[in-house]
Every structure is written in structure tokens, then in C-alpha cells.
Structure 1
Amino acid sequence: MISFSPQSAIGRLLLLRTIAILIQLLLVLASAFWFDKSIELLPVLIVIAFESCFQLFSVLAYRKTSEAAPSGMMLQLLADVIFMTILLSLSGGASNAFVSMLIIPIVIAAVTLPSQFVLIISLSSLIAYGYLFATMGGNHMHHMDMELHFKGMWANFVLSVFIVVMVVMAMAKQLRTKEQSLAKVREKQLKNEQLIALGSAAAQATHQLATPLGNINLLFEELKEDYPEHPALEDMGKAINICKEQLELFRAQTERFKSSDSFGVQSTASILEELETLMALQFPEQNLTMDDVADADVSDDPMLIPALLNVLSNAAQANNKTNSKEIIIKSKIEKGTWVLSITDHGPGIDPKKMERLGHTIVKSESGLGMALVLSHASIERLKGAIQLENQYQYGAKTTISLPIKENKL
């Protein structure tokens, strides 16, 4: 069973070589028996036989791989240059009409291989042509004063190699750049579709929770009247108030998105103050230690506070795993950017999941990492960035950078 596809680079090369071997065999037989050319048939057939064996060996060697490595492709092309050079040397050398076929491995290399491998293939083809030109017999050189013609052919081949290497390599690089750009666009589009689906699900869940929460609040009020001294009522009241605040916050953010497409600015000091208040409501056992607090203005986007709160919530949950109570927050200004770092004292982040966190949904014991995905999307929409890293003495450190905006008021 062969794994490589005919559309892959190695698949196309092996297919092209198979066709070339058949054409070589037909041309040699035609030259020997129909065109009455003085060609040493047996040595040429032996070379074609060796080339066929090499082709069979190559197919067997790559049958279990979907694509060849650049070094492997280079060796395959070098083998083609060697076989063509031997066949041409046995059939007229540089005077052979098919000597320009030495440029084909260069074209293939320019499209499929990095520049350093292309230069190796180009140099080998130039050396091969030079060898054929140098070993060409005197009868060819002086027959009808063809020396100048063959020198012109050599110069034309060198110029053709130079043009192919410069032009085809540039076009191949441009195509690869476009493919990478398209891949990034497709990835971003898929991520946006996932975020839209999550947003729709969140809106639907919020709408459906409003009525049950109202009923629970009524039952809570009745219980409070019947059992005013019950110790659990205080905790129930706090939980219900948090749910109501979150629903109101979601409604307020939705209304802000409906009312305006552009937002003003807000100070980083007010952002940190609001985050401190929200964390005191949701995680009262956690202590926020703020160092190097710098004040600046950033976008007044309604999703900024929830995005930062998600990061702080993850830090608090990480602290709970190690029974830690401190979250260190540092705020500073660097080159027109607000840099906010949040460090917890948790167990840290699994290095295998580090690169995927925030970009894709990653399943773990504490959830799917969905909150971090939403935070990444919100920060990137504001032309910011989030970086995750593990600390030597602490747990994980999340660094958030946002561009500073000028207050035009």
C-alpha cells in the first residue's frame, strides 16, 4: 500500500520519472533502429535499467510516507541529474538536442525545496553541463565550425538556470506566503464561527435562566420570612445576588453593543478597581496584591472587563488547588502599551497544553478552557495579546498587553 499521493511533491516526481524512463527507452530504440544514429545501445540500456531499479527502490522507500523530506527530495533530484548526465554523455554529450533537459530538476527544486537545496541542484546541473561540454569530442566542435554555437548553448543554459532560480523561486515563495495567509484566514474564520456559536448559546442560556432565577428569588424571600435565623440563608442570598449581577451585566453589555459601534476610553486604574470589586464578590477568600500600578487610558470596550475577569478567575481556581490565597497583579506602561501581568500560586500549566490554551478548546479537569478562548478573542479584537508562562517560584503568569488610547475629550 502506497501512502503518498500523486498530488504530493514526491508523488509527482516519481510519476514524472516513470514517464521519462519510458520516453528515454523509446527514443533510444528509435535512434538505434529507425534514424540510423551511431549510438552505443547496450551501455545506454544498462543505464536505463539502473535508473528503473532506482525508481522501483524509491517507490518502495517512500510507499509508507505521505511526503518526502526536503533532503530526500534533493537526493532524488541529484540522482536524476546524474542519470541524465550519463545518458547524454553516451549519446553526443553537449551536442545532444535534449541537453536542456538538465534544467528540469532545477525547476522542480525551485518549486518544492528551500533555497539552499535549490542552489545545490542548480550547481550540480551546471557542473553536469560543463562536464558534457568539456568532454565533447573535437569532431563535434570543428564540424562546420560549431564551436561558437555550442559555447552559445552553454551560455544560454547558464542564463536559463539563473532566470529559473530567481523567478520560479520568487513565485513559489509568493505562493507559499499566500497559502499561509489563506490558512490563517480560514483558521480565524473557524474561530469566529465558534465564538459566534458560543455567544448565541450564552445569550440563549441567559434568557432561559432569567425566569428560573426569578422564581428562586421568590422562594428565597419566602424562606427568609419563615426561617429568618437559618444560617444557610446568608450564603444563598449572596449566591443569588451574584447571579442577578451577572445577568444584569450581560444585559448591559448587550445594550452597549447595540447602541454604538465605537467606544471611548477608560482608565486602567478604574479597570483594576472594578476587577478588585468583582473578585471580592466572586472569590472573597483571595487577596489581590497590586504592585507597580500605572495609570493610562485604554479602549472602553464592554468585553474588556469580562475578559480580564476570566483570567483572574482562572488564577483563583488555580490557587484553590494548592490552598493559596494570593494573586499578584502588576500594571505598567511599555512603549505605548499597557502591560498587565497576573501571577497565581497554583500548580502551573501543563506544557503540552500551553500553546493550545486560549486558541482552541482544551479539555482538562477544570473545564474546556472556553473562558480563556473568549478572553483571547476579546483582547485580540482590541489589537492586544495574551501570553501564558509558568513561573519558577509561583504557578502560572498571564501577561496581557493592550494599546494605549488618547483621551480626546
Structure 2
Amino acid sequence: MSSVVNFRYQASDQLALLRMMGLVLKLCLTFAFAETFGLSLHSPALNTALIIEAIYLGFTFWLRKPLFNSDSGLFIALLLDTLLWITWLYFSGGATNAFISLLLLPIAIAAVLLPKWAPWSLALLSNLAYSVMLFTVPDNEMQHHGMDMRSHYLGMWLNFVISSLVLTTSVALIAKRLRRQEAELGYMREAQLRQEKLLALGTASAQMAHQMATPLASLRLLVDELKEDEGAQNITLDEMLLALSVCDTRLAELRLATESIRAGEFKFVTLAQLLDTLTQQVSLLMPDISLELKPSQQEGELCIKYDASLLPALVALIENGARASGEATGEQKVTLSLRQGQYGDEIIIAVRDYGHGIPDSLLTQLGHKIVESPKGMGVALMLSHASFERLGGKLILGSDLAGGTVAQVHLPLLTS
């Protein structure tokens, strides 16, 4: 939809110019070439109609950008254009006017820019007006140099009906396909940009992991030397050793994940195995978190596609949820539940926290691009979302009715 709006902004000047040219054409045909084209100017009200149209076009010219930004605004403008064309045609010969096919112009614009109901509405109005003007033409105007022109005017009417049908069907369908392709290209460009950002983040992470290895090894040697010293505080040293163990574990996992992702290696695991490994990781890396599991015996035997990036992505969701719960309730509590999708072809892993929730303004952005967040959720969620996408899944963030945020991970199930 946004691509269509951008196109309208770019085309608003051209469309306004086209409408102005239509008024100039009417003025030229009315006051300069009426006899040349055999127009029957039988009412002084035509001058009043042209003055009203000039004022109307001048007013809509200044409001063209906000007017053409919405479907309703553009449709109303095209509807009034159609009525003005019908008025001019009625006062300049009606169905005998050679320029009656210009009624197709608003239909064509609506077919390209508006939903399908809009060109159909304009086509119905134009065909109805043409039909009324055709079947109310006096008999004396049907004669031209002694020839009966009824069949000629009837053929013009039938050609107009067919042309309007072509515009409302074929042209509208082609325009719809082009808009869909443009939207898909826009999504692909956004996805490519997101992948480029993730590649940069991954490169930086690998470099930092390599740089951390040496100082961590030196720090471990220093801790071992301090532990041999009888004056060292054993409690502090134990805490330092625990922190070093966590760092070593994370670095080892990062190396394995990098090698696995680079090689494109995938394997299949049951949900029970995934939950067991996930529980162990949370207990080891984040012992303060209270993780409540709601697994199902039946769903635990289902298999999913797995690589080294899935587990860290789920851990990141649990960590974010625990932080939100801790800030709101003082307890880092997270509930994890499983259920099959509506059609049984996917599993939904729901990670629910008990925090204050995510603002609506961020819900549509988190997981898709880096956002400024005081809680630091932007990068972690974007990395998690990219990991799920690699496995054919997706991440959906929402609010729970009882409070808090629910992160739903949709992953495809292994089919036999």
C-alpha cells in the first residue's frame, strides 16, 4: 500500500496537468472548433458549467497531494470529473459528440490507482449516462445529409461499453499484479538490507569473540594463581570462575554456531529434546530465571528443523521476557508453552512474560529492524527473527490479555 501512495505522490502533478488539459480541450472545442467537429451547442448553461469546472480544478490543484493520498479522495475527484464530462457532453451534442470516448479517461485512471470497485462504479455511471443520451437523441439529429446514423451511433455506444469493460477487467488486473510485484520487490529490498545488517553484526561478533579469547585465557591463569594464594577470598574467586566458565561456554557456542551456519548444516530434533536442552541452557547461563514449562506429551514427539542459531534465539527471547518480568514484579518469571498451528503443519512456541508490555509503536518494528530501545531489545530480537526465518519460521510479538508480552515462534514441523 505504501508503494501505491508513493506512486500517487509522484503522479499527482501529472494527473493535475492531465485534468487541466481536459479543461483546455473543452474550451477549444466549445469556442473555436465547434463547427469543425459538428458540436451542437444548444444551451447557454454550458458556459456556467465551464466556469464551475475551472474553479473546481483550481481548488483541487492546490489540494492535489492530500487529495490523491487516499482512495476515497481520489475516487471523489474522479467521480466529479466524470460528472463534469457528462455535463459538457450533454450540452454539446450528447451521444452524437465525437469526443464522448473521453469518458473512459477517469475509468482508466481509477483502474490503475484504485480498488476494483472504483472503476466499476465509474464505468456504470458513464455507461448509464451514455445510454440515456443515446436513446434520448431527437430523430432529426439522427439524420446526416439524408443518411440514417442510428446504426453508427449504436456502434459507437457498443464500442464504448466494450472499452469500459476492458478497462475495468484487464487493465485493473494488470495494475493489481504490478502493484503486487512492486510490494514483493519492496519486501525483498527490506529483507536484503536486514541481511546485510545481520552480516555486519555477525562479522563484528566473530571478531570480538576472537579478540576475547586471549584476555579470557590470561584472566583464567591469573585466577588460578590467586586461588593458590592462601590470602585470596574463595567466594570471590568462585564467582569469578563461574563468570569465566559462562564466557568460555558462550565463546565455544559461538564458534560452533559460526562453523555450522557457514557450512549450512541442519539437523532434526524432537521438541522434547529441544526443551530439555533449552532448560539446561537457561539453568546454566541464567540461574535466577524462573522458567515455567507447559509442554504436551503428544507435541513433545514432533520434529523440527534445527541448527546452531535456534537455541540462542530462544534463549534471547527468554532473557528479554525475564528482564521485563523482573522490572514489573521483582521476579524474573517466564512461561513457555507449546501448541500446534491451526492446520497442524507448524509448532508455535509461546514465550510469555509478566512485564508492562511493549508499546504499540514498537510492536511493528521489533524483530524487523534495529530500533532505539532503553531495554536493548532491538538487536537481540532482530537476530532471533533472522534465525527463525532461516529455519522457515517467523516471530510474532503481541500482548497477553492478562498483561505482559507474548513472543510466538512459528516453526514448520517435519513431515514424513
Partners of 2:71 and 2:10 lie apart in 1 by 13
SS in 2 for 1:88: helix
* Alignment match, 1:95: 96
Aligned CA distance change for structure 1 residues 127 and 399 (closer, same or farther; 3 Å): same
CA–CA separation in structure 1 for the residues paired with 2:248 and 2:72: 63
| TM-score normalized by the length of structure 2 | 0.89
Q: Secondary structure at the match of 1:231?
A: helix
Q: For 1:324 and 1:316, how far apart are their aligned partners in 2?
A: 8
Structure 1 counterpart of 2:261: 257
Kept after mapping to 1: 8 A contact 2:67/2:73:
no
**Structure 2, unaligned stretches of length 5 or more?**
1-5
Change beyond 3 A, Cα 1:173–1:289: same
- Contact residue 349 and residue 396 of structure 1 kept, 8 A: yes
> For 1:338-360, what per-residue CA distance to the aligned partner results, in whole angstroms no more than 9, with x for missing partners?
33222223333223322222112
Give the whole-Å Cα distance in 1 for the aligned partners of 2:302 and 2:78: 59
Which aligned pairs between 1:352-391 and structure 2 lie closer than 5 A?
Answer: 352-391=361-400
Partner of 1:220: 223
- What is the match of residue 276 of structure 1? 279
CA distance in 1, matches of 2:406, 2:90: 67
- Describe the superposition over 1:291-347 as per-residue Cα deviations: whole angstroms up to 9, x where unpaired: 234233222311111111111111221232121143222234451433322222333
Q: Residue 60 of structure 1 aligns with which residue?
A: 62
**C-alpha distance in 2, partners of 1:46/1:38?**
17
Rounded Cα–Cα distance in structure 2 between residues aligned with 1:185 and 1:49:
49
Per-residue deviation, 1:68 = 3.4
| Counterpart residue number, 1:205 | 208
The amino acid across from 1:379 in the alignment is: F
**Residue of structure 1 in register with 2:333 after alignment:** 326
Alpha carbons of 1:107 and 1:406: their partners in 2 closer, same or farther (altered >3 Å)?
closer
Q: How many residues align?
A: 402
Deviations 1:21-69 (A, max 9, x none): 2222223332258789764595444432221111111123336x37332
Amino acid paired to 2:337: K
For residues 138-153 of structure 1, the aligned pairs below 5 Å read 138-143=139-144, 144-153=147-156
Which amino acid in the other structure matches residue 201 of structure 1? A
Q: State which of 242, 245, 265 in structure 1 corresponds to 2:246.
A: 242
Please, which of 303, 306, 312 is the counterpart of residue 306 of structure 1? 312
Corresponding residue for residue 3 of structure 2 = none
3-state DSSP class of the match of 1:244?
Answer: helix
Report the counterpart of residue 295 of structure 1 in structure 2.
301
Deviation, 1:168, is 0.9
Q: CA RMSD in A?
A: 2.5
Q: 1:351 aligns with which of 357, 360, 374?
A: 360
For the Cα contact (< 8 Å) 2:306–2:391, is it kept in 1? no
Q: How far apart, CA to CA, are the structure 2 residues paired with 1:388 and 1:402?
A: 15
Secondary structure at 1:392 match in 2: coil
- Are the structure 2 counterparts of residues 380 and 257 from structure 1 closer, same or farther at C-alpha, using a change threshold of 3 Å? closer
Contact 1:94/1:133, CA 8 A, preserved across alignment: yes
Q: Runs of 5+ in structure 1 lacking a partner? A: none
Per the alignment, residue 405 of structure 1 pairs with 414
Maintained 8 Å contact 2:323/2:332 = no
Does residue 78 of the first structure (1) align with residue 85 of the second (2)? no
Distance 1:21 1:135 in 2: 26
Q: CA deviation at 1:368?
A: 4.3
Taking every aligned residue pair, what percent have the same amino acid on both sides?
34
Task: Summarize the Cα distance change of 1:66–1:230 in structure 2 as closer, same or farther, 3 Å threshold.
Answer: farther
- Aligned partners of 2:37 and 2:98 also within 8 Å: no
C-alpha distance 10-299 of structure 1, shift in aligned 2 (>3 A): same
User: In structure 2, what is the Cα distance between the partners aligned to 1:66 and 1:86?
Assistant: 23
What's the offset of the Cα at 1:386?
2.1
**1:153 partner amino acid:** M
Alignment correspondent of 1:164: 167
